Amino acid sequence: MAGATREALERLTGRVALITAAGSGMGLASARRLAREGAHVIAVDIDDARAGAAVEAIEAEGGSAEAAQCDVGDERAVARLLTEVRREHDVLHILFNHAGIPGPAGLEVEVADWDRTVDVNLKSAWFVSSYALPLLRNAGTKASIIFTASTSGIVGSPSAPLYSMTKGGVVLLMKSLAVTLGPEGIRANAICPAMIDTPMLPQFFGREAGADIEDFKSKFMSAVPLSRTATAEEVAGVVAFLASDDASWVTGVALPVDGGFLAK
């Protein structure tokens, strides 16, 4: 955190944040960033070991966190998770609905794969937000809901229409919540990343048989004005901004984090 100001480090002090898929990639980077800025982080992941490792990383940096295992594609598991959070905290200031999977490419997909992609990418965003709402209301005007959508939720994906469909649904869910909950002072926004250098990147660009991941990356970077991929930490900085009072007048925004990809 060299160069970060004391003020910036403290802008989330006293707040409780729940992050889904916090065990790796952008979720982990965001969990660590919010904790550095003072939030107590509930690191949720389908993999209990990864959730625990996230907490260990946060605590090693002097932050405060707890781990929770949950398959957020399972509504009953989500209900149990939020019941426990309510028992322990009775408030959520920040909800980061980050969980997502690439899903299969193309239109010829198995029904089970279609269902699982919709469950994790879209239904989880709905149900986690729904069950968390009473806790967010307890935070008053400090409540912020953040979703991970995608540039593929703004423009169509030529290779993965199912993924694009679910992320487009996330964007409109976010906008609807911004309109519905705005009068209560609860903000809702979405980040729309493009190519981010995380462990999941090969899954996104290796869905089709014979796919050359490096070729995909090269073609992508040639279409990006900043001419590079982004790091998970760069995304985490945007999440921290949307979670903080610095974004107190920002709601209903699908914010591209894409190096200018959608500007062309």
Residues annotated as part of the active site: 163
d(CA 116, CA 196): 23
- Terminal alpha carbon distance of the chain: 33
65 neighbors 55 (Cβ within 8 angstroms)? yes
Find how far residue 12's CA is from the centre of its chain. Answer: 17
**CA-angle at 148, arms to 143 and 149, nearest 5°:** 125
Report helix, strand or coil for 98. Answer: coil
112 neighbors 37 (Cβ within 8 angstroms)? no
The tokens of 8 are what?
């910036």
In sequence order, which ranges of the chain are alpha helices (DSSP H)?
6-9, 25-36, 48-60, 75-88, 111-118, 124-137, 161-181, 201-205, 213-222, 232-243
Report helix, strand or coil for 195. Answer: coil
Label residues 40-53 b or e (16+ Cβ within 10 Å = b): bbbbbbbeeebbbb
Report helix, strand or coil for 82. Answer: helix
